Amino acid sequence: MTNLHYRWVIVAAGGLLGCLAIGAMFSLPVFLLPISRDTGWSVTGVSSAMTIGFLAMAFASIAWGSLSDRWGARPIVLIGSVLLAVSLMAASWTTSLIAFQMLFGVVVGTATAAIFAPMMACVTGWFDTHRSLAVSLVSAGMGMAPMTMSPFAAWLVSAYDWRTALQIIALVVAVIMIPVSFLVRQAPALADGAAAASPEEEPHSSMTTSQVLKSPLFIILLLTNFFCCATHSGPIFHTVSYAITCGIPVMAAVSIYSVEGLAGMGGRVVFGLLGDRFGAKRVLVLGLLAQAFGALAYVFAAGLGSFYAVAALFGFIYAGVMPLYAVLARENFPLRMMGTVIGGTAMAGSLGMATGPIAGGLIYDAMASYTWLYIGSWGIGLGAFLIALTFRPAPRYQATVAAA
Least confident range of 29-33, 180-184, 282-286: 29-33
- Select, from the ranges 26-40, 88-102, 130-144, the one with the highest average predicted confidence (pLDDT): 88-102
What are the boundaries of each domain within the chain? 2-187, 209-393
> In CATH, which superfamily holds the domain spanning 209-393?
MFS general substrate transporter like domains (1.20.1250.20)
Give the C-alpha distances (Å, rounded to integers) separating 72 from 4, 67, 79, 82, 302.
Answer: 20, 7, 12, 17, 50
User: Positive or negative, the Cα torsion across 388, 218, 342, 51?
Assistant: negative
pLDDT digits (tens, 9 = 90+) for 213-271: 788 888 999 999 999 999 998 888 788 778 888 888 877 877 787 788 788 888 888 99
Proportion of the chain in helix, strand, coil states, percent, rounded to 5: 85, 0, 15
Confidence band for 290, pLDDT divided at 50, 70 and 90 = very high
> 230 or 48: whose pLDDT is higher?
230
Mean pLDDT, the chain, rounded, equals 84
pLDDT at 195 over 50: no
Other C-beta atoms closer than 10 Å to the C-beta of 208 total 10
**CATH pick for 2-187 out of 1.10.3720.10, 1.10.1740.10, 1.20.1250.20, 3.40.1440.60:** 1.20.1250.20
Confidence band for 395, pLDDT divided at 50, 70 and 90 = low
> 3 or 257: whose pLDDT is higher?
257
> 278 or 147: whose pLDDT is higher?
278
Confidence band for 285, pLDDT divided at 50, 70 and 90 = very high
Residue 215 confidence (pLDDT): 85
Q: How far apart are CA 239 and CA 244, in angstroms?
A: 9
Do the domains 209-393 and 2-187 match in fold? Answer: yes
Give the C-alpha distances (Å, rounded to integers) separating 366 from 124, 197, 362, 370.
Answer: 45, 55, 6, 10
E-only strand ranges, 95-190: none
Per-residue exposure over 81-108, b if at least 16 CB sit within 10 Å of its own CB, e if not = bbbbbbbbbbbbebeebeebbbbbbbbb
